[in-house]
Amino acid sequence: MNLDLNNKVIIVTGGAKGIGKGIAMVLASEGAIPVILGRKAIDNQIVVDEIVATGGKAFQVAAELSKPDECQKAVAAIVAQFGVIDGLVNNAGVNDGVNLEHGSYDKFMESLHKNLVHYYLMAHYALPYLIKSKGAIVNIGSKTAETGQGGTSAYAAANGGRNALTREWAVEMLKYSIRVNAVIVAECYTPMYDAFIKSLPNPEGKIAEINKTIPLENRMTTAEEIANMVAFLLSQRSSHTTGQLIYVDGGYTHLDRAINLVHH
């Protein structure tokens, strides 16, 4: 399916690694120009170079998105380069384990800035250009908003906020024909996830244990599978889809846990 994304300028926050990198790579393969936004220019540039080496186009801006003024400067830099913004993928964030029992006000608020506030700010600053292009917004979210996880109050709250903002913005943006959707991730194997697994006493056993809980094919979702849905939602192929929370998770979040007992 041709997604008609050729030369569309699409911001991907956290685009240097993991799911964000997967999104950038798929967008570039569809002819779009992903703009990688991450805190380290060197990491961003590695992805840009990788895309260019395969015949694609990309751009990067270094920004610490937990700082509001850097969100504004990043959008200004992108507009100075291209003059347009056709799409925004809010993806950057980290499951930082700020919990209820041992957390603090400062850590909680810091986590909200890392995981939620910049979603709002990036959309706010990009909005005048998205209005002109009738662009689309995709917010990446996590199952933690719906399932809970334990030990991660701030991250769960941020993801609840991401889901709420997705629906709120979808309503507010109707008058501009800007579509806003979210892709919700459960268990996706990324370099960050790999580092976490390898820090455990029995990494192979833990991966096998997690895989058993994922109904479809008993495996984790790939970054490319997340990215394929994101690209579709950014494109006019999904022209009447807005305000949706789409779970690309192999059935992890919503299918009956008893299914796993049947298979094992």
User: pLDDT (tens digit, 9 = 90+) per residue, 43-80?
Assistant: 999 999 999 999 999 999 999 999 999 999 999 999 99
Please state the rounded mean pLDDT for residues 232-240: 98
> For position 157, what pLDDT does the model report?
98
Assess contact for 36 and 51: CB atoms under 8 A.
no
Q: What is the 3-state secondary structure (H, E, C) of 28-76?
A: HHCCCEEEEEECCHHHHHHHHHHHHHCCCCCEEEECCCCCHHHHHHHHH
Q: Kindly indicate the confidence band of residue 236, based on its pLDDT and cuts at 50, 70 and 90.
A: very high
Assess contact for 32 and 26: CB atoms under 8 A.
no
Q: What is the 3-state secondary structure (H, E, C) of 117-159?
A: HHHHHHHHHHHHHHHHHCCEEEEEEECHHHHCCCCCHHHHHHH
* C-alpha 121, offset from chain centre: 15
Run of H or E residues at 246: strand 245-247
Q: Which residues contact 152 (CB under 8 A, 6 or more apart)?
A: 95, 96, 97, 98, 99, 144
CA distances from 203 to 192, 197, 221 (A): 14, 5, 18
Q: Kindly indicate the confidence band of residue 263, based on its pLDDT and cuts at 50, 70 and 90.
A: low
Residues 24, 201: Cα–Cα separation, whole Å = 33
Mean pLDDT of the chain: 96
Residues 94, 151: Cα–Cα separation, whole Å = 14
Residue 31 pLDDT exceeds 70: yes
> For position 144, what pLDDT does the model report?
96
* C-alpha 249, offset from chain centre: 14
Q: Within 13 Å, how many C-alpha atoms sit on residue 183's CB side?
A: 28
Residue 166 pLDDT exceeds 60: yes
Q: Residues with catalytic annotation?
A: 155
Q: Which domains does the chain have, with CATH numbers?
A: 9-189+223-253 (3.40.50.720)
Q: What is the pLDDT of residues 181-234, one digit of tens each?
A: 999 999 998 888 888 899 999 989 999 999 999 999 999 999 999 999 999 999
Residue corresponding to tokens 């998105």 = 65
Q: What count of other Cβ atoms lies within 10 Å of the Cβ of residue 4?
A: 12
Comparing CA positions, the residue from 181, 227, 188, 248 lying closest to residue 20 is: 227
> For position 259, what pLDDT does the model report?
81
187 phi/psi in degrees, rounded to 5: -110, 105
Residues 153, 103: Cα–Cα separation, whole Å = 9
> For position 262, what pLDDT does the model report?
67
Q: Which residues contact 22 (CB under 8 A, 6 or more apart)?
A: 222, 223, 224, 226, 227
> For position 264, what pLDDT does the model report?
56
Angle at alpha carbon of residue 191, lines to 16 and 93, rounded to 5°: 55
